[in-house]
Amino acid sequence: MIYFDNAATTRPERAVAELAAHYLDEQFYNPSALYAEGYNLHRELEEARRELVSFVSDPDEFAIVMTSCGTEADNQAIFCGGRRGNIVTTMGEHAAVYAAAQEAGRRGTEARFAPLNPDGSADADALLELVDDKTSLVSVIHVNNETGAINDINAIAERVKAKNPRALFHSDGVQAFGKLPFRLGRNIDMYSVSAHKIGGLKGTGALIKRKKLVLQPYIWGGGQEGGLRSGTENVLGIAAFRAAARTRYLGGGIEKNYSVVRNVQSRLWELLDKQLFERISPEYGSPYILTVAARGVRGETILHMCDDRGLIIGTGSACSSNAAKKYSRVMQACGLGRELIDGVLRLSFNIHNTADEAERAAEILNDVVRTDRELTK
């Protein structure tokens, strides 16, 4: 089986799986408890938090609020950061930001959405036009989860702060953390990440925030996570997130992995029949995502036919697969026409994928689309 749907979720790393017995059988204590075993776990979690932050920023300047997932982290940023005036974001956001901004609009904080460039990146000039002195929060996704387009969030944040220094800047970094060589700049206030996108466990995410930034709690209760997100800590999930992040970052791994995955993506695109497929992903976007459109064939049909032949792929964001609208909001915002939008496929990669898998995947995809087109003539 070839698995090319890693933007949806990844297989947990072996180092992560090996942690399960230790934390479930031996270190099952409540880290908020006063006895020694609980306090020792608390210290271990504090070390994990600092290390996770250190991979993209200075842990003396940024703190981390552990959440249940990237969606919750995005929601916390939107609802706790955008509490007045207006929120400015883009049409290319993950549903966790897009739908949360819409809901904020229904609650009285105006939501404004900037258009996209054809590759799925944010139109930064148009976004800046929406920012005014009443803007409380700007949120721009780091890597578009449907096309892989990379937004220069440090540069965009600098422009936002120049126009309105009081506006908070948030970015959904779920498809960037553990994948792109990147450091948070001085104009970014909040950054959302997720464990299961990089070999950690589902059920763990985080909001990285500036220590000086004062936010209202998102979940009220016992005061965990610095009072911002109450609830007994997911010890195994946090430890697993740390272990997975180490496999990506330590020993120069982030740059090495980037190169390896770029080779897989390039090989796949090289072998796809250009008479059958059109590329949507930008050439210099994230190597972890390759989005294409098959002409004259429905993406869902291709997905099922490929699955039957041992290739697992996606058709877009898994989080919006149950949406009522037939076509992807992001693909529509990219300007994709009716002749292509029905055939969109998202192929996404992991550090363990190989060029041999890319070659076999291209063979399957070319054959599946040719076969379907012949059958429907």
How far apart (Å, rounded) are the C-alpha atoms in residues 121 and 286?
Answer: 11
Instruction: Please name the residues in contact with 96: beta carbons below 8 A apart, sequence gap of 6 or more.
Output: 70, 71, 74, 75, 172, 192, 319
* Helix spans in the chain (H): 14-17, 19-21, 36-54, 70-81, 95-106, 124-130, 153-163, 235-249, 253-271, 299-308, 329-333, 338-341, 355-375
Tokens read off for 219: 């979940």
Kindly report the backbone phi and psi dihedral angles of residue 344, in degrees, each rounded to the nearest multiple of 5, phi listed first: -70, 135
Is the separation of the CB atoms in 95 and 320 below 8 Å?
yes
Q: Does residue 334 carry a catalytic annotation?
A: no
Tokens read off for 359: 């070659």
Q: From the candidates 69, 80, 306, 319, give the one annotated as an active-site residue.
A: 319
Tokens read off for 330: 């992001």
Residue position matching structure tokens 């699955």: 307
Torsion sign over Cα 351, 62, 58, 242? negative
Is the separation of the CB atoms in 331 and 186 below 8 Å?
no
Tokens read off for 241: 């997130």
By the 10 Å C-beta count (0-12 exposed, 13-18 middle, 19+ buried), 119 is classed as buried
Tokens read off for 245: 């992040």
Active site residues: 319
